[in-house]
Structure 1
Amino acid sequence: MMNSPSSSGSSEPFIPKPSKAEYSEVRTSDEEDPNLFVSQTRPKSRLRTIFSWISKTIIIVLALHSLITLSISAAIRIREAALPACYCGTSTAEALAMGCKYDSLATSWLPPHCRDDELTALFERAGNGPGGAWLYHAANTSASRLYSLEEMAYLADRPDAERQAWSTIDWHNMHCFYTLVKQMRGRAKMEYTGFPDATAHAEHCAVAMTDGIPRNKIVIGMSPGFGDPRLGELRNMG
């Protein structure tokens, strides 16, 4: 009779040693060797890279533009706040005593810091009269009497209803051009032209210069004054 495994004196299990070792070394799925897996990261496409670069560039450019615009705006406001007034009194005698001079470009008596005498001299030689002078009419007709430049200066002493002179569209166009140049040169203060700021004056000039009115038509009225307008005067100018 054969003996059963349990009745034998041996303590060895039924599975032989080599087979036991084989089973004991089998690895489970969470013990896999990490070296067996290779990363499959998807490379960025060239188009995505270019688009990302362009987007970042646009953002940087817009940020710089905003910063520069704000800086310029702040500098202009600081400068305007620091600018002395273009005030020259209320009469030619007072204006002369204050060191002011009649400026034909502004059609106003102005102190030195509000004038650009070099540009004004060029403007006075850009007219359609003898020697490049501008013709200033007492009324809006070519048959009216003409004022000399000196008479224009002293019109400022007259009452409001009597201190008006007239000139051509051509005069106005050149006035706009030289005033814009004066502004770029940093000597313009726009209140004495009848406008509260340079932007309003530039817009006015742009509209006037594209109206198509004949250049020799006498339709431009002007009232010589004393720099910064008196209270309420801006409402009557333009």
Structure 2
Amino acid sequence: MLGAIYRDDGKSGGMLPLRQTDPDLDFETLSPYPDLPAQRHGVAARFRLGLTYVIKCVVLCLIVWFAVTLMIRSRGSQSTTKTVDCSCGDTLQEARSRGCIFDALSTSWLPPRCIDESVSTKFDLSGPEPDGTWPYFTSTNGSQKIHASELWRHTYDSDDGYWTTNRWHISHCLYFWLRQYRELKRGVITWDESHDGEAHIPHCLEIITMVASGLEPIDAIRTHAWQNPSKKHDHHM
């Protein structure tokens, strides 16, 4: 069983807006010179910008602290925890014959014993879609959606996999760490080879940092997920 997710780094051009907003006056002022910066930058706008930056820094520091703590605890508990094999084979038929089911949080087919149903259910219903699910697509242009219940069709025998957003990617990291923390607390580690490696933590921190710093749009379709035995687990930034 092999699975992975990665993010495609796309670039897009844009034009400067003709319409500029004055936060102090609560109305939009038209600028005949769009190449020039706005003349009025209210105190309230600067305060909100600074507060947003501070909040992002605090959240990022907390995430880094949690990730490092999880990694240290994982190393220290290896001798006292029970490891459960989560292999489901190399084909869809083999996965089903072993009683495996597809877990969107792990982007993998897993035995029920390797799925934290509580965490996975919360993740599945924490998306921005009207029914609470996450948006999935057949390509980066987002023209054709895939419902969450149909993701399993894009695994194993499909080389294309599916695409989703940076927002999904960040939530995946946070909920996956929650799952790992709960496993450490129980003393039973499920070995999901696609994400349980230590490399998954800095990978997650990288995407979180890029979005928090504004280098990546949070709703850009950059994340590619697949489970195909012909490929090795990898991440591309």
Which TM-score applies when normalising by structure 1?
0.58
Aligned equivalents of 1:138, 1:152: Cα separation in 2:
10
- Asked if 1:175 corresponds to 2:160, the answer is no
Q: CA offset at residue 155 of structure 1?
A: 1.3
For 1:1-238, what aligned pairs fall within 5 Å after superposition? 73=75, 75-77=77-79, 79=81, 82-142=82-142, 144-160=143-159, 162=160, 164-186=161-183, 187-193=189-195, 197=197, 199-211=198-210, 212=214, 213-225=216-228, 230=229, 233-234=232-233, 236-237=234-235
Secondary structure of the residue that 2:99 maps to in structure 1?
A: coil
Tell me: CA distance 1:231–1:141, structure 2 relative to 1, closer, same or farther (3 Å).
closer
Aligned equivalents of 1:231, 1:158: Cα separation in 2:
10
> Please, what is the CA RMSD of the aligned residues?
2.5
Q: CA offset at residue 168 of structure 1?
A: 0.6
Tell me: CA distance 1:93–1:150, structure 2 relative to 1, closer, same or farther (3 Å).
farther
For structure 1, the 5+ residue unaligned runs are 1-69
Tell me: CA distance 1:109–1:209, structure 2 relative to 1, closer, same or farther (3 Å).
same
Secondary structure of the residue that 1:89 maps to in structure 2?
A: coil
- Percent sequence identity is 28
Aligned equivalents of 2:155, 2:120: Cα separation in 1:
18
- Choose between structure 1 and 2: higher strand proportion: 2
Greater RCO (CA < 8 Å, at least 6 residues apart) = 2
Give 1:219's aligned amino acid: R
Aligned equivalents of 1:231, 1:76: Cα separation in 2:
30
Q: Is the 8 A contact 1:103 1:115 kept in 2?
A: yes
Secondary structure of the residue that 1:130 maps to in structure 2?
A: coil
Q: Is the 8 A contact 2:135 2:164 kept in 1?
A: yes
Which residue matches 1:14? none
Secondary structure of the residue that 2:140 maps to in structure 1?
A: coil
Which TM-score applies when normalising by structure 2?
0.59
Q: Is the 8 A contact 1:92 1:154 kept in 2?
A: no
Q: CA offset at residue 138 of structure 1?
A: 0.5
Q: Is the 8 A contact 1:107 1:222 kept in 2?
A: yes
Q: Is the 8 A contact 1:152 1:224 kept in 2?
A: no
For structure 2, the 5+ residue unaligned runs are 1-71, 184-188
Q: CA offset at residue 89 of structure 1?
A: 1.7
